[in-house]
Chain A
Amino acid sequence: MKGFFLGLSNGATCVAYCTPVLIPYMLGEGKNIARNYIALTQFLLGRLAGYLVFAFIAWLINLSILDRLGSKGFLIGVLYIVFSCLLMIYAFFRTDVPCAAQSIDRIARKIKVPLLIPTLAGLLSGIALCPPFLLAMTGAAAEGNLSYSLFFFFMFFIGTSIFFIPIPFVGALRRIQALQIIGKMASGIVGLYYLYAGIIAVIEGVRGI
């Protein structure tokens, strides 16, 4: 239960880190509350997958990963960049939702954006974004037992996920057409921000190796 309570105590921080991604995405899609819950489920499943991957890694290499923060910074930086590209593709290249970037219509039609954007975003955010996640990793890695590590991360995931429940209610605003444009624009800005954060993390990671 330690993982669950750690998740509960850090859920607000977790949700604060994920809302800049989730809210613009949900506004941009302009779907109703029920469909937003489906998107949230996809996001959370992706996040769970990310957590379990790290649970496995935490068990595999125990605490040694914490000794090599330089290389970890590099890895997180790369993930940030992939994540930012995902957000920017979503913001600028989907044409079935209104967007200011109409001039790139032709390119957009050629690019088939995966339908599982929330899952992929969840996976990447599960691995890279959340500072409380580092706490969980330390807690899980300290035991050095695979089943404990997986269970610890699963419970941590459950504890934090409770805080995500209200987010899909932004779907109540879907009738306001302008919010779709605003959501997509905001996704683009968040993407740019993470691109910068990723580049900086990669540079610092390379220095640390």
Chain B
Amino acid sequence: MKTDPHKAPQGESIGTTIVLTMVMAVTTVVMFSQGKMPQDPKELIALALTILFANTIFFLLIYTGRTDRYRAIYFSTFAVALVISFISHMFEVRGSMSLSEAKVFQCEVPFCHLVIPMTLVPVALTKTIIFPGSLIGGYASIASMFVIWIGATLAFGRGFCSWGCFYGGLDDGFSRVLKRPVIKNINPKWIYLPFAVLLFVVLTAAAYLSPVYCSWLCPFKAVTEFKAVTSTTVLIQTIIFVSLFIGLVIVLPILTKKRTQCAFFCPFGAMQSVTNKINAFDVRIDKEKCLKCKRCIQVCPTLSMNEESLEQGRTRITCMKCGKCIDNCPKGAIGYHIKGTDIPGKRNVYRLLFLFSAFLFLAIFSSHIIEDGIMRILKLITTGSMI
């Protein structure tokens, strides 16, 4: 398809969209089913719905030219499905969401990507993984998460936070509840807080050989698993993470329309920001077309655009490549870009390359979780229980 660099990015033609969706459909069918069709009708329905959902979203992404709108639907569904699937699984194998000391000693704690920053220094210095998880096998193994993280980081940098993180969809979803923000003026220096939290958790994890963020700060324990309250310390930890969840993942995103947990607290996000420097894709602004209306600054959910970056024609290091600024630019001056190429260049091609790879990663990474989430809901409808 020929692209006019001076026109706002539009969706692709119906023909191109169908061809691309067909490719995506074949890939997702093979990857989601892993070459075999389930025998259980509920599993079959869940698989079919997951494939249909993923490909419908991909079709809309390509055909309408809207990135963030449809990405957010899939991304938030992923997060909700994770909560449903994970909690059901915990009840199935443990009888509750709480984690006993015995499970910690048996190294049966599922590993998640948020632990990665804390594990790197102790691994380098002591050859020890300071997390009571399973290296291979189990519900979420350390090795598999590391492989996924390295691949996604090289491909998308901090794009992982909008196209891969299974928690990010929660505050992303809540940030869309209100039409207008109640709290408008946020001090831009708050974007440095995740880096300070990162520094703190990396240094203290190295000092105490313990995943400090998981023990004390991770708000997502509220919707996954947490230590059984057996002491004052655990009680204090519980109060802290529940408060952080309510504050950073629910209340503040609603009031500010920003992804407050991801933008102002998450140490993993801070680490991913640094990796934005080493991957092929970024978001760039065509300065000739830019009206300086500052709509992009207003809507960015992570404060990754400011007047200085606008002047430079690029986003700040913390950009999650969510596409919200691209969707909201009235002149279509913002777009995905491949480093080292011209601006605006073949912007529709850059967009397609980014979207195809990012969405394929998101779809494959989320497939089992969404499928399991749908199956649990079907179980609930038919049997009255998710387990």
> Do the two chains belong together in a single complex?
yes
B27 to chain A, nearest CB (A): 40
- Structural contact, A182 and B192, CB atoms closer than 8 A: yes
CB neighbours (8 Å) of A16 from chain B are 203, 206-207
- Structural contact, A185 and B192, CB atoms closer than 8 A: yes
Does B187 make an interface contact (CB < 8 A)? yes
A122 to chain B, nearest CB (A): 16
Given contacts A186-B199, A200-B233, contact A178 B204 (CB under 8 A): no
What sequence of 0s and 1s flags, for each residue 53-82 of chain A, a beta carbon within 8 Å of any chain B beta carbon?
000000000000000000000000000000
A146 to B196, CA, bound (A): 43
CB neighbours (8 Å) of B193 from chain A are 100, 185
Does A208 make an interface contact (CB < 8 A)? no
- The CB with the most chain A CB atoms within 10 A, among B187, B189, B196, B197, is that of B196
Of A17-25, A31-39, A137-145, the one contacting chain B is: A17-25
B96 to chain A, nearest CB (A): 27
CB neighbours (8 Å) of B195 from chain A are 178, 182, 185
Does B220 make an interface contact (CB < 8 A)? no
CB neighbours (8 Å) of A27 from chain B are 199
Closest residue of B by beta carbon distance from A24: B199
A188 to B187, CA, bound (A): 17
A100 to B190, CA, bound (A): 7
Secondary structure at the B interface, as helix, strand, loop or mixed, is helix
CB neighbours (8 Å) of B150 from chain A are none
Interface size class on chain A is 20 to 34
- Structural contact, A186 and B196, CB atoms closer than 8 A: yes
A24 to B195, CA, bound (A): 11
Does A190 make an interface contact (CB < 8 A)? yes
Closest residue of A by beta carbon distance from B216: A193
Within 8 A of B (CB), among A180-207: 181-186, 188-190, 193, 196, 200
Does B200 make an interface contact (CB < 8 A)? yes
User: Which of A19, A102, A189, A196 is the one whose CB lies under 8 Å from B196?
Assistant: A189
CB neighbours (8 Å) of B192 from chain A are 100, 178, 181-182, 185
CB neighbours (8 Å) of B190 from chain A are 100
- The CB with the most chain A CB atoms within 10 A, among B189, B192, B233, is that of B192
CB neighbours (8 Å) of B124 from chain A are none
User: Which of A99, A100, A182 is the one whose CB lies under 8 Å from B199?
Assistant: A182
Does B93 make an interface contact (CB < 8 A)? no
A15 to chain B, nearest CB (A): 9
Given contacts A23-B199, A181-B189, contact A12 B125 (CB under 8 A): yes
What sequence of 0s and 1s flags, for each residue 178-212 of chain B, a beta carbon within 8 Å of any chain A beta carbon?
00000000010110110111011001101100000
A176 to B377, CA, bound (A): 50
Interface size class on chain B is 10 to 19
- Structural contact, A189 and B197, CB atoms closer than 8 A: yes
Closest residue of B by beta carbon distance from A129: B207
A85 to B204, CA, bound (A): 18
CB neighbours (8 Å) of A183 from chain B are 196, 199
User: Which of B189, B197, B204, B232 is the one whose CB lies under 8 Å from A20?
Assistant: B204
CB neighbours (8 Å) of A99 from chain B are 189
CB neighbours (8 Å) of A188 from chain B are 196
Given contacts A182-B192, A189-B197, contact A19 B187 (CB under 8 A): no
- Structural contact, B200 and A186, CB atoms closer than 8 A: yes
B327 to chain A, nearest CB (A): 28
User: Which of B207, B232, B233 is the one whose CB lies under 8 Å from A17?
Assistant: B207
A43 to B17, CA, bound (A): 64
Closest residue of A by beta carbon distance from B200: A189
B51 to chain A, nearest CB (A): 44
What sequence of 0s and 1s flags, for each residue 1-33 of chain A, a beta carbon within 8 Å of any chain B beta carbon?
000000000001000110110011001000000
A190 to B208, CA, bound (A): 13
- Structural contact, B187 and A100, CB atoms closer than 8 A: yes
A41 to chain B, nearest CB (A): 21
A100 to B191, CA, bound (A): 10
- Structural contact, B233 and A20, CB atoms closer than 8 A: no
Q: Could you write out 27 A-B pairs with CB less than 8 Å apart?
A: A12-B125, A16-B203, A19-B207, A20-B203, A20-B204, A24-B196, A24-B200, A27-B199, A98-B189, A100-B187, A100-B190, A100-B192, A178-B192, A181-B189, A182-B195, A183-B196, A185-B193, A185-B195, A186-B196, A186-B199, A189-B197, A189-B200, A190-B203, A193-B204, A196-B236, A200-B232, A200-B233
9 additional A-B residue pairs with CB within 8 Å, beyond A19-B203, A182-B192, A186-B197: A99-B189, A100-B193, A181-B189, A182-B195, A183-B199, A184-B196, A188-B196, A189-B200, A193-B200
- Chain A residues near B (Cβ < 8 Å): 12, 16-17, 19-20, 23-24, 27, 98-100, 102, 178, 181-186, 188-190, 193, 196, 200
**Nearest 10 CB-CB pairs, A to B?**
A185-B196, A186-B196, A20-B203, A16-B207, A100-B189, A186-B199, A182-B195, A189-B200, A181-B192, A182-B196
